[in-house]
Structure 1
Amino acid sequence: MGRLFGTDGVRGVANADLTAELALGLSVAAAHVLAEAGRFAGHRPVAVVGRDPRASGEFLEAAVVAGLASAGVDVLRVGVLPTPAIAYLTGALGADLGVMLSASHNAMPDNGIKFFARGGHKLPDELENRIEATYHSHEAGEPWERPTGAGVGRVRSYDEGFDNYVAHLIGVLPNRMDGLKVVIDGAHGAAARVSPEAFARAGAEVVTIGTEPDGLNINDGCGSTHLDKLQAAVVEHGADLGVAHDGDADRCLAVDAAGQEVDGDQILAVLALAMRDAGTLRKNTVVGTVMSNLGFKIAMRREGVELTETAVGDRYVLEEMREHGYALGGEQSGHVIVLDHATTGDGTLTGLMLAARVSATGRSLTELAGVMDRLPQVLINVPDVDKSRVHSSAELASAVADAERELGETGRVLLRQSGTEPLVRVMVEAADIDHARSVAGRLADVVKSALG
């Protein structure tokens, strides 16, 4: 698998790349790295372990629990819950670490392991590197320290996790949403129970699709990567809006009453103005990425809200927010982080806050999302090129400059090298989709000739 940790934990095909042996070994390594602070403080370390409904999660959970307990960590098994629920419970229960088994929006055969540090925070690279080095040291023959007798970890189910998490979500909402009709697509994933329950407790009339996980149907033609069923259901039921989650429910996309998609940038714009009006948008700043739609940037500038950009990836958004004390950030994909109430992207919380804004203002989601005009965006992946030269090629720089002059203030060009493949991503935004396609195509040709 090369380096085990990717951009969001360890992920691969379950029982092929991600085996029970690997899950057990990584869990022991994580226990040695993340639980030491608890031991030094004089208490038995505790871990919260959850998963999404994938069939492979059952044996991988067993391996993780066995690894943690064998390393002297007491384990609270919370069952099927969203990734942000594991992060929340890790912090709320004072646990030393959290473990989530999920491959997010990936197809069912994949699975993954994501670790959270004390407080429910994602791991920085330094801690991931230490866990990986500890794991490889054991694989090379260095023995584990193995407690015996009363020193081994104890395992128990923590069934209160569901209610505790839902109560937290309801408790941070600014207002109820009585009278609102909402369709929820749970992607047959980790939010299949949580999201409908939370919306119902907040007063909404709830219609559900994609909420019958059987271990095999997660993300299968549903959820945030397949909005067509949600769009049809919202129109069919005359709902005010629809909310779609991915497999582990750390993100959310929405659909308005007319069945039109409302993406992460639009959701972020709506919440930014809501928090600004409520006085909770710290430093009057929202954090986006370099891939945020130009329409979002224009809207924030018009509304007097500052925008800070990071590299693509919710971990970079989160790092920027934590470093500078910002309250709101997110991505076009629907990863939205409300740092006062969550340590990571939380799709259920995002959907609830969006619906609460609709209810509080009495305005439709269509009208609220209309604060920004989503400019057409064309993305072309150019493979088999020397991506390391994307910012040093004079020929390419000249072509980009020409394209930027042609687009003026109503368009944008972004060239970005892939982090995992030998390709360059060419992104062009323009007021007209045909214009964007034309410019993107020309730039892709220059990338091929200059970097091929």
Structure 2
Amino acid sequence: MTRKLFGTDGVRGTANTYPMTAEMALRIGAAVGRYFRRDAGGVHRVVIGKDTRLSGYMLESALTAGLTSTGMNVLLLGPVPTPAVGLLTRSMRADLGVMISASHNPAQDNGIKFFGPDGFKLSDQAEAEIEALIDAGVEPAQAANIGRAKRVDDARFRYGERVKSSLPRDLRLDGIKVVVDCANGAAHRAAPEVLWELGAEVIPMGVAPDGHNINRGCGSTAPQAAAAMVVAHGADVGICLDGDADRVIMIDETGAVADGDQLMALLASRWAVDDRLTGGALVATVMSNLGLERHLAGLGLRLERTAVGDRYVVERMREGGFNLGGEQSGHIVMTDYATTGDGLMAALHFLAAMVQSGQPASALARQFEPVPQLLKNVRFAAGKTPLDSGAVKAAIAGAEAELAGKGRLLIRKSGTEPLIRVMAECEDEGLLNRTVDDIVAAVEAAAI
């Protein structure tokens, strides 16, 4: 069974344009409500969180209408990080969790992500079955069985306590000055609160959402402003979250940026020494740097690669019994504590390493020397399929021949945006640039 509506991470698109319309959100809500409310008896509930996008109000209302029409009781969490939804779905014994967010995308986009009763994201099979229900239509519940909706006021605090509990009980952050960039997103209250409660001196930024400024010139996709703030304030470390706070980029005291690969390398090595890394492996995607793989091999550890998307990372972790994984983009998944990527939790574990080792951020954030990597994105017009072009296929074949034995090439269509991602790694930077540019030129010509 194939999926058309669902992408790499739920349903996503431009707000008020198919599929991110109120009408479609109502239909999705009804279908997913029917899917998880398989029997007529008992109490059925769903938790809904969102980030700070203006369109979140519209989609929240439409989803609530669809869900209650099938007899589901809805608990509205308000603005909370995506990992909070995974946590609270399970801890509040909900049948379903929903997060309204387009993550790192600009404010005009939005998305809908789903979590099963175990707090983990849905499988491809489940999403395909829900799509079939959307297409077929759903019979609403009888009038007496319509669900109720109410606000939950303490969701942010429940999440904050869970995040703090992932650290050793006696660990404090006293004396550490932290810049935290919340991307004007879902963690704009939770992240500064948690850091302050643990004793850190907190310099917050990106904490004034207005519905339009999420991820705009801030957060994990634009860490330059936070890096400048770290240097200007003489901070010890910087934390850059994205719009829904499921990913993080770290900044050391010099203003240097460390991606998810470096953070995973740090955690893997520390956990291995403490005999906490199950299976002797880290799970990451095909996007992670070859340098990470070589670094782990030097420590006697393995890198298990998956398709792009933290959902696929988590699926492999659960299949193999691994407890650490993530993405270069900053999704860090620690299944001992959480069911999905948690940017704030991962950042706290980096700060814990600073406290426990007595080393500065700069000594911890550069675990390995990356192999030169180049990633370029090409946007394509609606209805276009650039990767089917003969010229593009020829350019890719030529690049693969040139890189054979010298590096690697990855070409893929984004699952969340109309983009073709062209990535290559090679020690020879001249060859690296030439091969990527040749493919990009071919894709650009086929994309218009």
**SS across alignment from 1:224:** coil
Q: Using the aligned pairs only, state the percent identity.
A: 44
**Partner in structure 2 of residue 259 of structure 1:** 255
Report Cα offsets for 1:133-168 as digits up to 9, x if no partner.
Answer: 111112xxxx6132222x221222111211111100
**SS across alignment from 1:318:** helix
**Partner in structure 2 of residue 91 of structure 1:** 90
Judged with a 3 Å threshold, the aligned counterparts in structure 2 of structure 1 residues 145 and 70 are, in CA distance, closer, same or farther, namely closer
Gaps of 5+ in 2: none
The amino acid across from 2:265 in the alignment is A
**Partner in structure 2 of residue 60 of structure 1:** 59
The amino acid across from 1:230 in the alignment is A
Report Cα offsets for 1:57-104 as digits up to 9, x if no partner.
Answer: 112111111221221111111111011101110011110001111111
Distance 1:442 1:189 in 2: 37
Distance 1:439 1:341 in 2: 41
**Partner in structure 1 of residue 12 of structure 2:** 11
Report Cα offsets for 1:224-248 as digits up to 9, x if no partner.
Answer: 1111110000011111110111111
Give 1:3 deviation, angstroms. 2.3
Instruction: Kindly indicate whether the alpha-carbon contact (under 8 Å) linking 2:414 and 2:421 is maintained by their aligned counterparts in 1.
Output: no
**Partner in structure 2 of residue 144 of structure 1:** 139
Instruction: Kindly indicate whether the alpha-carbon contact (under 8 Å) linking 1:230 and 1:244 is maintained by their aligned counterparts in 2.
Output: yes
Per mean C-alpha deviation after superposition, the further-off stretch among 368-377 and 330-339 is: 368-377
Instruction: Kindly indicate whether the alpha-carbon contact (under 8 Å) linking 2:9 and 2:309 is maintained by their aligned counterparts in 1.
Output: no
**Partner in structure 1 of residue 360 of structure 2:** 364
How many residues get paired? 434
Give 1:7 deviation, angstroms. 1.2
Of 142, 152, 159 in structure 2, the residue corresponding to residue 158 of structure 1 is 152
Structure 1 residue 171 and structure 2 residue 165: aligned? yes
Give 1:374 deviation, angstroms. 2.0
Give 1:443 deviation, angstroms. 6.8
Judged with a 3 Å threshold, the aligned counterparts in structure 2 of structure 1 residues 278 and 201 are, in CA distance, closer, same or farther, namely farther
Judged with a 3 Å threshold, the aligned counterparts in structure 2 of structure 1 residues 65 and 398 are, in CA distance, closer, same or farther, namely closer
Instruction: Kindly indicate whether the alpha-carbon contact (under 8 Å) linking 1:71 and 1:153 is maintained by their aligned counterparts in 2.
Output: yes
**Partner in structure 2 of residue 387 of structure 1:** 387
1:196-235 matches, within 5 Å, as 196-235=192-231
Structure 1 residue 76 and structure 2 residue 75: aligned? yes
Judged with a 3 Å threshold, the aligned counterparts in structure 2 of structure 1 residues 157 and 440 are, in CA distance, closer, same or farther, namely closer
The TM-score normalised by the length of structure 2 is: 0.90
Distance 1:28 1:243 in 2: 38
**Partner in structure 2 of residue 180 of structure 1:** 176
Structure 1 residue 32 and structure 2 residue 34: aligned? yes
The amino acid across from 2:153 in the alignment is D
Q: Report the RMSD for the aligned CA atoms in angstroms.
A: 2.6
The amino acid across from 1:145 in the alignment is P
Instruction: Kindly indicate whether the alpha-carbon contact (under 8 Å) linking 2:403 and 2:426 is maintained by their aligned counterparts in 1.
Output: no
Instruction: Kindly indicate whether the alpha-carbon contact (under 8 Å) linking 1:92 and 1:119 is maintained by their aligned counterparts in 2.
Output: no
**SS across alignment from 2:368:** coil
Of 244, 255, 258 in structure 2, the residue corresponding to residue 248 of structure 1 is 244
Give 1:375 deviation, angstroms. 2.5
Distance 1:317 1:438 in 2: 31
Judged with a 3 Å threshold, the aligned counterparts in structure 2 of structure 1 residues 398 and 212 are, in CA distance, closer, same or farther, namely closer
Report Cα offsets for 1:358-386 as digits up to 9, x if no partner.
Answer: 11111112111222112321235688887
Structure 1 residue 283 and structure 2 residue 282: aligned? no
1:297-446 matches, within 5 Å, as 297-380=293-376, 387=387, 400-405=400-405, 407=406, 412-418=407-413, 426-431=422-427, 433-441=429-437
Give 1:22 deviation, angstroms. 1.1
Judged with a 3 Å threshold, the aligned counterparts in structure 2 of structure 1 residues 221 and 90 are, in CA distance, closer, same or farther, namely same
Give 1:419 deviation, angstroms. 5.5
Instruction: Kindly indicate whether the alpha-carbon contact (under 8 Å) linking 1:269 and 1:369 is maintained by their aligned counterparts in 2.
Output: no
Distance 2:423 2:110 in 1: 30
Judged with a 3 Å threshold, the aligned counterparts in structure 2 of structure 1 residues 136 and 365 are, in CA distance, closer, same or farther, namely same
**Partner in structure 1 of residue 47 of structure 2:** 48
Judged with a 3 Å threshold, the aligned counterparts in structure 2 of structure 1 residues 52 and 223 are, in CA distance, closer, same or farther, namely same
Distance 2:78 2:219 in 1: 21
Judged with a 3 Å threshold, the aligned counterparts in structure 2 of structure 1 residues 395 and 6 are, in CA distance, closer, same or farther, namely closer
**SS across alignment from 1:162:** helix
